[in-house]
A = this chain, B = another copy of it.
Amino acid sequence: MSGQLVVAGLGPGAEDMITPEVTAALIEATDIVGYGPYVARVALRAGQRLHGSDNRVEVERASFALDLAARGRKVAVVSSGDPGVFAMASALFEALEDGPAEWRDLDIRILPGITAMLAAAARLGAPLGHDFCAINLSDNLKPWAVIEHRLRMAARGDFAMAFYNPRSRARPEGFARVLDVLREELGGERLISFARDVSKPGEHLLTLPLAEARAGMADMRTVVIVGNSMTRQVGRFVYTPRQAPGVQGAGVQGAE
């Protein structure tokens, strides 16, 4: 088959955080497929076809894109952030798995982007500078019991945590329960940061102790980061040191 498909990460919002690899792929594409607002962000050249869609039909969108590629088009599926982190890449492979066998022969590439939690971490300082977990709190895809169990395991492992989709449309009360579990596991002094619309107009950062955190501080455009037991503030920054708790004077790292 001659068709090509890339899944391209657009990063958190700012134009200058889109990699040249992604920009080149978007210029070369004959067809651009994605959630409406993301497609609208992409600069176009003459003759390209745009295929915007609703946000809640990811597998259908992926199948549509694969079918276009199978017809010989050069398709770019656009995704916010990094396609591999709670975005379009997994949906693409779900569609590939369920689709016609010949789709597997297509030239398919995933092009990474700056994912929301790392853009947020950079603005805050370095809260994810030691071991951390990334958890999607959208409860459309998993039951609350799974979320709660993972929160407790992450807390007991003294991982920092980054949360995507903290406030689900389907169950807006879910994030209040998340905060309750975190306070139960970690106590009230642990630092939590809310980073909204990072790199976009209206960017807003807020860091405070868990005891003062409220569910309303997060919405669907917010990434939430919880520190580990060593996370602290220096000046206007939040950071997690490289050393694990109890390790003194290490000061070197084996390799970057």
B-binding residues in A (CB < 8 A): 11, 14-21, 24, 35, 38, 55-59, 79-94, 96-97, 104, 108-115, 118-119, 121-123, 125-136, 138-143, 146, 149-150, 152-154, 156-159, 165, 168-170, 220, 232, 234-237, 239-247, 250-256
Most buried by B among A11, A35, A125: A125
- Nearest chain B CB to A239's CB is how many angstroms away? 4
Knowing A17-B21, A131-B133 are in contact, say whether A256-B88 is a contact too (CB < 8 A): yes
> For the complex, what is the distance from the CA of A128 to the CA of B134, rounded to whole Å?
9
CB <8 Å contact, A84 and B118: yes
Q: A56-B253, A141-B247 are in contact. List 15 more A-B contacts (CB 8 A).
A: A14-B21, A16-B24, A17-B112, A20-B20, A55-B255, A57-B252, A58-B242, A79-B256, A87-B256, A96-B235, A104-B236, A112-B122, A131-B150, A133-B134, A140-B252
Return chain B residues, CB-CB under 8 Å to A123.
110
Partner of A165, one of B113, B135, B255: B255
> For the complex, what is the distance from the CA of A123 to the CA of B108, rounded to whole Å?
10
Partner of A84, one of B19, B55, B126, B246: B126
Return chain B residues, CB-CB under 8 Å to A152.
157
> For the complex, what is the distance from the CA of A15 to the CA of B21, rounded to whole Å?
9
CB <8 Å contact, A150 and B141: no
Copies of this chain, count: 2
Return chain B residues, CB-CB under 8 Å to A113.
114
> For the complex, what is the distance from the CA of A254 to the CA of B20, rounded to whole Å?
29
Question: What are 5 A-B interface contacts by the 8 Å CB criterion?
Answer: A19-B114, A84-B118, A90-B242, A112-B119, A140-B252
> For the complex, what is the distance from the CA of A146 to the CA of B252, rounded to whole Å?
17
Return chain B residues, CB-CB under 8 Å to A87.
256
> For the complex, what is the distance from the CA of A95 to the CA of B134, rounded to whole Å?
27
CB <8 Å contact, A129 and B237: no
Knowing A135-B131, A168-B254, A252-B57 are in contact, say whether A125-B93 is a contact too (CB < 8 A): yes
Knowing A35-B256, A138-B254 are in contact, say whether A234-B93 is a contact too (CB < 8 A): yes
Knowing A133-B159, A256-B80 are in contact, say whether A85-B118 is a contact too (CB < 8 A): yes
Most buried by B among A91, A149, A256: A256
